[in-house]
A = this chain, B = another copy of it.
Amino acid sequence: MQRIPVGLVGITGYTGMELARILLNHPRFELVRATSRTEAGRPLVDFYPFLQGTPLAELTLTPPDAKDLAQACQVVFLAIPHGAAMDYAAELLAAGLKVVDLSADFRIKDAGVYAAWYGLEHRHPGLIGEAVYGLPERYAAQIAKARLIANPGCYPTSVILGLWPALEAGIIDAHDIVADSKSGTSGAGRKAAVGTLFAEVSDSFRAYNLGKHRHTPEIEQELSALAGADLTISFNPHLLPINRGILSTLYARLTSAMTQGDVQALYEKHYARHPWVRVLPAGRLPETRWVRGTMFCDLGVVVDPRTNRLIVCSAIDNVCRGASGQAVACANLMSGLPLDDGLKLAPLMP
């Protein structure tokens, strides 16, 4: 069976590493290009020493040249910062490639909203319309036909999957939702910074960007579509002293009398055809380690009759499901492959 050549632009971050990990055992994709402006000519193992002895170790880094990528690859993953990604995407699309952009550049459909939250005018607004938001449970058909994927943010993946059934069924007040999200430190990226040093993060805990995080408009855009009306959410991130994992605790007011059993049944039915979303049995709550290294989104659903609230705990691996794994899932669909090719990943416990 012939393998489909794919490329990776950007190797310095954790999403690049995770793509390499996944692609190493992918049955159909072959990573044939990994690019770096400054390190071309060196083997990938110099930057990913954990790859020593694997088929990817000796892949030689190349400059990020669109023509070369277009000749060598069918799909390219952009694992570079927002702002930079939009230009690469435009160039690679023009060269005939399919692109999965892991940055935020094409997630927000309203260029004005993008500019307001990211402090940056979009330089390729014409491409925003055709970009498909790469949440496979929701947009599989469109993803399969897309040239350009806006790979979802990590926090939004956890929040959207956690609220979708309730919002769509109309059982909660769409205008009174609080998301208290906690992310592992890999979510802050692999850039040298005092704030994410081990001795600053370990044995401590803090919130940040309360009400102001850039994933907010992305969440609101997708939840509004599900609710059928514009909504505003209180989204509040926190930094966990763990490597990987997001747990979002989602608080909503029930608008009708629903029992634990009712909501449990609603969620289980909703996700019955989506095996990566695991609705835990009543009484069990997710742990980020249960999804470590996997595509799973684990949901724990709690009806609190004392306060008439629905509380949903939603856990994902921010690096796999919340970034590189989801990107591979999209690339699978874009390439006519089964959604879960290379993604039948089992959690590492402990």
Contacts and interface: CB of A to CB of B under 8 A. Distances in A.
Interface of A: 14, 17-18, 21-22, 24-25, 48-50, 52-54, 176, 178, 180, 182, 184-186, 188, 190-194, 196-208, 210-211, 232-234, 236, 238, 240-245, 247, 249, 251, 275, 278, 280, 284-293, 296, 298, 300, 302, 304, 306-307, 309, 311, 313, 315, 319, 344, 346-350
A335 to B, nearest CB: 21
26 contacts: A14-B349, A17-B349, A17-B350, A50-B349, A178-B178, A178-B251, A180-B251, A185-B198, A190-B197, A192-B194, A192-B197, A196-B198, A196-B199, A203-B244, A204-B288, A205-B245, A205-B287, A206-B286, A206-B288, A207-B300, A211-B302, A211-B306, A211-B309, A234-B309, A238-B247, A240-B240
B199 A350 contact: yes
A192 B189 CA distance: 13
A203 B288 CA distance: 8
A298 B311 CA distance: 27
Nearest to A177: B307
Contacts of A315: 206
A350 B241 contact: no
A290 B49 CA distance: 7
How many copies are assembled? 4
A285 B208 contact: yes
B247 A205 contact: yes
A241 B245 CA distance: 13
B203 A243 contact: yes
Contacts of A201: 198
Nearest to A298: B52
Contact of A14 (B52, B176, B206, B350): B350
A284 B249 contact: no
A54 B185 contact: no
Contacts of A291: 50
Contacts of A21: 346-349
Contact of A293 (B190, B199, B240, B293): B293
B285 A210 contact: yes
